[in-house]
Homo-oligomer: A and B are copies of this chain.
Amino acid sequence: MVTLKEIARECNVSPTTVSNILNGKPKVSEETKERVLETVNRLGYRPNYIAQGLRNQKTKMIGIIAEDIAQFTTPEIVEGIMSYCEEKGYRSIVKNLRLYARWSDSWYNKESDYHAILEPAIRELTSIMVDGIIYIAGHARVIHCFPEDFSTPAVMTYAFDSNPAIPCVGIDDQGSAYEAVKYLISKGHRKIGVIGGRADNIHTQQRLLGYQKALFEHQVLYNPAWIRYAAWDETSAYIEALELMKTEVTAVFCMADRMAGGLYRCLNENGKRAGTDMAVVGFDGQEISEYFIPGLTTMALPLRKIGHVSAEVLLRQIESGDSRIRQEDGAEKILIPCTFIERESVHQI
């Protein structure tokens, strides 16, 4: 933080002169005034009277940092946070890092570029004295986001923070996939293919574990050849669907509705139909799943709930005045199950 004295030294004037200018007093020459204000802006100086005086007071404002609000999961999480905050008398404000817009899918490998974007956003929120910060990730992974000594209450949403003192709220990928696959088994399917996301992704790994668990419990053999990895999108899933069509699978668990879209296209081009010739379950409960014909059975992400719970955890921190950094055994990790939506894409065999 730049101080008033540093501004004064930089401009070669007395601290009183800087103070007079910032207080709008007229006794200073126009030239000096311009020079000082330019320096104030350039160095990012903010008078900290407010911060000093109100340090122990609440602003009743929370900050939300979104990795990218154009990710389909983000707006509803924001809505969940905001509706809970409003109920409790808190206002909120959003910073958008635009990580996907900026760097597409490659950004999570750019640690220093990432921090060059993240840190000014955090500073901006702390400079307007938010009571707490919720960080909304675009997908699950471990993020070096909040520094070890970060003292503002904070919550990591839809991912995990490497700082163990930061509470995390996410989805129960494993449990939800387990339920989806159990449903396929209950409909008589034993030969169940998988179109997964990228193999190194936490969502993929956890959902695959859920699939394996469901198979094991029902004493169904696990055939690794039926596990196909795609890139979360329609086009790459279509290619994997073509491969699965050559096997004897009667059902496919798709780890994203978008990827189920690739399977639907593949079925359609081969004169086949979901829910008749091939059972299909999706994941996400995106709007697109409502428009599939026949309607896609899927696990809907509990986005509003995630937002709601994140806000609850944050406000509890704020209102208890707990200093997170003293929690030595690590903060809570909350995983919320998806909601099963049954439509017409799974037939009994």
Give CA–CA (A53, B128) in the complex, Å: 18
B124 A101 Cβ-Cβ under 8 A: no
Asked if residues A83 and B57 are in contact (CB atoms below 8 Å), the reply is no
The 8 Å CB contact of A22, one of B24, B50, B60, B286, is B50
Count of A residues near B, CB < 8 Å? Answer: 57
A77 to chain B, nearest CB (A): 10
B residues in contact with A92, CB < 8 Å? 96
Separation of A55 and B69 alpha carbons in the complex (Å): 32
**Looking across the interface, which residue of chain B has its beta carbon closest to that of A264?**
B293
Chain A contacts with B in 50-92, Cβ cutoff 8 A = 50, 52-61, 69-70, 72, 74-76, 78-79, 82-83, 86, 91-92
Q: Are B293 and A53 neighbours in the complex by a CB distance under 8 Å? A: no
Q: Is A37 an interface residue (CB 8 A)?
A: yes
The smallest C-beta distance from A101 to any residue of chain B, in angstroms, reads 5
Q: Which residue of B lies closest to A69 (CB)?
A: B75
The answer to whether A94 touches B91, judged by C-beta atoms less than 8 angstroms apart, is no
Task: Indicate whether A142 reaches chain B with its CB closer than 8 angstroms.
Answer: no
A94 to B66, CA, bound (A): 11
- Which residues from B are CB-within-8-Å of A49? 22-24, 47, 49
Pairs across A and B, CB under 8 Å, 16 listed: A24-B55, A37-B56, A40-B54, A41-B54, A41-B57, A69-B78, A69-B79, A70-B75, A78-B96, A79-B96, A93-B124, A94-B95, A261-B290, A286-B287, A287-B288, A288-B288
